[in-house]
Amino acid sequence: MLSVSDIGFAYRNRKVLERLGFELDPGRILVILGPNGVGKTTLLRCLNAIHRPTTGTVLLEEDDLLRLAPSRMAQRVGYVAQRTEAAKLTVYDAVLMGRKPHIGLRVSPEDRTKTEAAIARLGLGPLSLRNIDELSGGELQKVALARAIVQEPRLLLLDEPTSALDLRNQFEILTLLSTEVRARGMATVMTMHDLNTALRFADDFLLIRQWRVLAHGPIAAITEDLVEDTYGLPVRIHDLDGHPVVVPR
């Protein structure tokens, strides 16, 4: 469904990414892992042309994403940034904006129904008439995710989607996200620092080190040696109730 090949990117003369590539099937979540400053967010932004790669292609089904018009890109790709700017918008209106790529001359009953369903699924009902500039960081992140879901993209890009959430909300949001991804057949790519959360919820991984892909595959293929090579820290991977858990040695 998603095929990324030979992506390169540089800030002025500083190389950030070189010849990165991977493939992802529908209904699966891929997590981009690596040390701070290695280019995880940059790669994510290259996939929807927020950053224009110097080399490479990004193919989503029949579309070359790097050549799409912005209106078509908005119909095909949803993006949730690590930080969402607050504004004088109600939660309801902020989520409804996710329907903008599909709205004709006016908002339809279907648009409103899908907006209300997304608000309910994210537990935002009691906040629906609050302005988003009055919300906590975690609540604002939930609004951004609801807006992306109601957009109904084929590719969903998430930059540290749980960074502002407490433990319970992390678990609830990622469980909901997994359900939505599989039900809708979306290809989903997210960046994440928490290895144990990634191991629990992602299907595939992409390890980046020094501009390039160190390893890529199903999440079960992550080994202690790969983690040590990526982060420079000896670890053990233990099984806990059927879930792998990374523990520094």
Q: For the chain, what percent of residues have pLDDT higher than 70?
A: 100
Question: Residue 139 is encoded by which pair of tokens?
Answer: 């609540």
Residue 206 pLDDT > 90? yes
Q: What are the structural domains of the chain?
A: 2-248 (3.40.50.300)
Give CB contacts under 8 A, 24+ apart, made by 195-199.
195/33, 195/227, 195/246, 196/244, 196/245, 196/246, 197/162, 197/170, 198/31, 198/33, 199/243, 199/244, 199/245, 199/246
End-to-end distance of the chain based on CA atoms, in angstroms? Answer: 38
Q: For the chain, what percent of residues have pLDDT higher than 90?
A: 67
pLDDT at 211: 82
Least confident of 32-36, 106-110, 137-141: 137-141
Task: State the average pLDDT over residues 219-236.
Answer: 93
Residue 83 pLDDT > 80? no
pTM metric for this prediction: 0.92
Residue 106 pLDDT > 80? yes
- Taking only the tens place, the pLDDT of each residue in 56-70 is 999 999 899 999 998
User: How far is Cα 209 from Cα 240, in angstroms, rounded to an integer?
Assistant: 28
User: How far is Cα 3 from Cα 30, in angstroms, rounded to an integer?
Assistant: 12
- When the pLDDT of each residue in the chain is averaged and rounded to a whole number, the result is 91
Alpha carbon distances (Å) from 220 to 4, 141, 237, 243: 22, 29, 11, 10
Closest CA to 24 of 45, 52, 48, 5: 5
Find out whether 194 and 231 touch, Cβ atoms under 8 Å: no
Least confident of 163-177, 192-206, 235-249: 163-177
pLDDT at 210: 82
Find out whether 65 and 76 touch, Cβ atoms under 8 Å: yes
- Taking only the tens place, the pLDDT of each residue in 131-186 is 998 988 888 888 999 999 999 999 999 999 888 788 888 888 899 899 989 998 99
pLDDT at 163: 81
